[in-house]
Structure 1
């Protein structure tokens, strides 16, 4: 297994080498026209040598010796060699920060995760840990680093109660120590996400606490029970979700925080309980409860263009005739509900100043044109 300790760009993969390789095709022409190519070839040589020296003297992008890594497992083994068969050197816990010294050049699969092995510095010794349970951490950008680490942890579905609980407790302690609005909003949001993650891990996997996949027992867990009012059970999904009004209330409590726009965009992507069952009015209502809520709170936010692009595609699908026929078939109570939601969306959009608003408005008006009123 090859170990990378001082990574530098490979000269053979560099633009200089590609330039040299491509110049081979010139050589045949050079033999027939030497006077025209001699000066050009000299320039190529000088340029390529200079570029190669610059590349060798420039630090490689990405990681380098001395970077900090954040541990994302409840208990992560540090081994003498980069292998699951390596002898244990130490055990590290969720949230610990270690200095990385090197990494293996090729990823390896451990369980359901695939990543490289990282060599880390411990007290008076070194060892290797699996990178799937760690994340690079830039101490100069703590919120960005925590966001990356937490989101990576949330993507690990095959986890037991211990890992999920360690994640939840870490975020909860950070929330208790929060000193300003940004920290309170950021860690408050991720505490709720970690809570949902914990319950899901106990419900799906049974964890190691005897819950056996029983959602009722999971919600009554001593750690979860005090916060159970923040959750609602979704029968279609078969699991508990954080209530959307709780998430938006948290956002609104710290709406002046610099991170409020960023957290609002994350709330949009949180799952909602129930299902639309194919009813277009319900689909529109779901869009209003997510993307519409974002626009209401951040009409000039950094994600407005992204949100408007999504809404235009939603209201003006790739198969317009299909949605037109579906809308024309709507009648009775659903027709009234749909008209209400569409009118509410237009009211929200009128407060947003962005060129794409016109496109979304036209798409909504197209929906309204096909919506017939029952006489």
Structure 2
């Protein structure tokens, strides 16, 4: 009898504990992430299903169920997924707009989303700004410096992509102004070009922040190729200053970098004598000073690689001294 009572007590305890064990989340729970802006969540797995809400790009979802049959929507064939948002809202989304999100491939998945979106030249400004905002948040949540560098590079490319749409798509000021203001001092406005640009100094600082990682050189080239505000209007020392601050700075930091040849070509194109006759003595003095600064920036470039550039530089210095 005592043994039967002990067994009965243990059985009761196990029954009481079972609900606790059942409530523990499954370690194999699947996650998905929206790969586009404004993804529609519907009440039923149909294109005409009632719209529950629209999801921002990069919204992480818990997969609850997948439709048995696939369907073709907008030329894409996929399943429907019943999902739950982080806030607990549930509904169905079409599979072509959500990607699997695996912890070990998290960063690469985010980069894949960014690459796919930026390949769309017709994407509207609001979608581009949405991507830039999403990547900014992803950088802030990055668990290590290497991941942060990859995501931050994608973020700034997305920012430039968004800025490019403002002019090319003739976006109304009321649409882009709030987003531009939220970016703060990282953007500068060029009156002559009538467009917003990324401040190149921000990109140079990111090159310094991530130096030693592969993305550092990429940041340097982004800084080199980002447009500068203002207009030289034919003033030779101005063109020289621009190329020194851009390609010259790149060559100073990466004299044998993968973009060194392109940088040298850009420098060589500026070292002509056109417009020299229009310079007064002050202008010629400024030009000679600029040539010295450029020569210093090229100091680490091997002589054989910069031979043509140096020959043109010396010729221009001689002409400026007359």
1:143-182 to structure 2, matched below 5 A, reads 145=112, 148-149=115-116, 151-152=118-119, 155-156=121-122, 159-161=124-126, 163-182=127-146
Summarize the Cα distance change of 1:151–1:355 in structure 2 as closer, same or farther, 3 Å threshold.
Answer: farther
Cα distance in structure 1, aligned partners of 2:217 and 2:255: 10
Give how far 1:313 is off. 3.9
Cα distance in structure 2, aligned partners of 1:348 and 1:183: 31
Provide the secondary structure at the position in 2 that maps to 1:119. Answer: strand
2:38 to 48, 53, 75: 75
Cα distance in structure 2, aligned partners of 1:72 and 1:126: 12
What's the C-alpha RMSD, in Å, of the aligned pairs? 4.1
Provide the secondary structure at the position in 1 that maps to 2:320. Answer: coil
Provide the secondary structure at the position in 1 that maps to 2:321. Answer: coil
Cα distance in structure 2, aligned partners of 1:231 and 1:123: 40
Summarize the Cα distance change of 1:188–1:140 in structure 2 as closer, same or farther, 3 Å threshold.
Answer: closer
1:355-366 to structure 2, matched below 5 A, reads 355-366=304-315
Provide the secondary structure at the position in 1 that maps to 2:214. Answer: coil
Summarize the Cα distance change of 1:182–1:280 in structure 2 as closer, same or farther, 3 Å threshold.
Answer: farther
1:297 maps to 253
Provide the secondary structure at the position in 1 that maps to 2:119. Answer: helix
Cα distance in structure 1, aligned partners of 2:219 and 2:80: 35
- Find out whether 1:191 has 2:155 as its counterpart: yes
Give how far 1:272 is off. 1.1
1:239 maps to 195
- Find out whether 1:367 has 2:316 as its counterpart: yes
2:287 maps to 338
| Alignment length (residue pairs) | 259
2:11 maps to none
1:56-75 to structure 2, matched below 5 A, reads 73-75=36-38
Unaligned runs of 5+ in 1: 1-69, 79-85, 98-103, 105-115, 316-322
1:45 maps to none
2:81 to 97, 101, 123: 123
Give how far 1:260 is off. 0.5
Deviations 1:334-372 (A, max 9, x none): 222221222211112121236321122112222223223
TM-score, normalised via structure 1 length: 0.56
- In 1, are the aligned partners of 2:239 and 2:270 still within 8 Å (CA)? no
TM-score, normalised via structure 2 length: 0.64
1:266 maps to 222
Give how far 1:146 is off. 6.0
Give how far 1:297 is off. 1.6
Cα distance in structure 1, aligned partners of 2:223 and 2:230: 17
Summarize the Cα distance change of 1:370–1:354 in structure 2 as closer, same or farther, 3 Å threshold.
Answer: closer
Cα distance in structure 2, aligned partners of 1:140 and 1:74: 19
Deviations 1:131-172 (A, max 9, x none): xxx9xxxx699397466336425x44x6143x1332122101
Provide the secondary structure at the position in 1 that maps to 2:229. Answer: coil
Cα distance in structure 1, aligned partners of 2:59 and 2:281: 59
Cα distance in structure 2, aligned partners of 1:72 and 1:361: 49
2:30 maps to none
Summarize the Cα distance change of 1:283–1:147 in structure 2 as closer, same or farther, 3 Å threshold.
Answer: farther
Deviations 1:166-211 (A, max 9, x none): 212210121111233333334334434544555665687686xxxx
Cα distance in structure 1, aligned partners of 2:189 and 2:294: 28
1:213 maps to 173
- In 2, are the aligned partners of 1:230 and 1:246 still within 8 Å (CA)? yes
Cα distance in structure 2, aligned partners of 1:358 and 1:200: 36
